[in-house]
Amino acid sequence: YDMGVAIELAASEAYAPMRYLRIALLTIFVLLVVAVGVALGSTFSLAQLDREVRQLGQYRIQGKIDEGGMATVHHAVHALLKRPTAVKILKPALATDELIERFEREVTLASRLQHPATVEIFDYGRTRDGTFYYAMEYIDGITLARLVEKDGAQSAPRVAHILKQVCESLREAHSKGLVHRDIKPANIMICERGGESDVAKV
């Protein structure tokens, strides 16, 4: 019948639904601001952590070479000398007092070895967050395991030449009370040093 009723209302009552909507929108905005803040903070923390992981003392980490049960080995470069280096990092999750003691003992004993066929230890330390590492000679070569896999059986004279170096390295280690405990083709590198080929590195 085209009829209607008009009544008078106070402004506060008329706009009450808008007040609740405004509170809801403000709450959502605040939550978004907090979420963005947390995301930015996380990104900054990850970037800072990445910088710490990539820089160990004087060594700039380039990439991972290998990983074992106790530690990972990374290719690195000395910040000042620009010398290629292999850095062995103890896995933080395994860093018990016993393992840290064993890690330090390994470094101390290995650093006393001087035979040319033994990988040389350069440095040892730990980061501010307690990550233990040591730096050693970087070998740009091939393991015996990979050599045989790639080229097959080697000639007797070449095998004798390589094994002679390995045995001399182990003899020095044994004379100082150090036992390798994991001698295998994968742990013996063949490289070139000073113009000489087939230089073995244990």
129 classed as catalytic: no
Q: In what order do the strands lie in the sheet with 71-78?
A: 55-56, 59-67, 71-78, 84-90, 132-137, 121-126
Catalytic residue among 97, 129, 140, 182: 182
DSSP character for 126? E
Three-state secondary-structure class, residue 58: coil
- Residue by residue, pLDDT tens for the chain (202 residues) are 888 888 888 877 777 778 788 888 899 999 999 998 888 876 665 555 445 457 778 888 888 888 877 788 999 999 888 889 999 888 877 777 887 888 788 788 888 899 999 999 998 888 777 788 889 999 999 999 999 999 999 999 999 999 999 999 999 999 988 888 889 999 999 999 888 889 999 9
pLDDT computed for residue 139 by the predictor: 92
Residue type, 53: V
pLDDT computed for residue 45 by the predictor: 57
* Cβ-based burial of 92 (10 A; exposed 0-12, middle 13-18, buried ≥19): exposed
Segment holding 56, helix H or strand E: strand 55-56
Going 106 to 181 to 153 to 158, the CA torsion angle's sign is positive
pLDDT computed for residue 44 by the predictor: 65
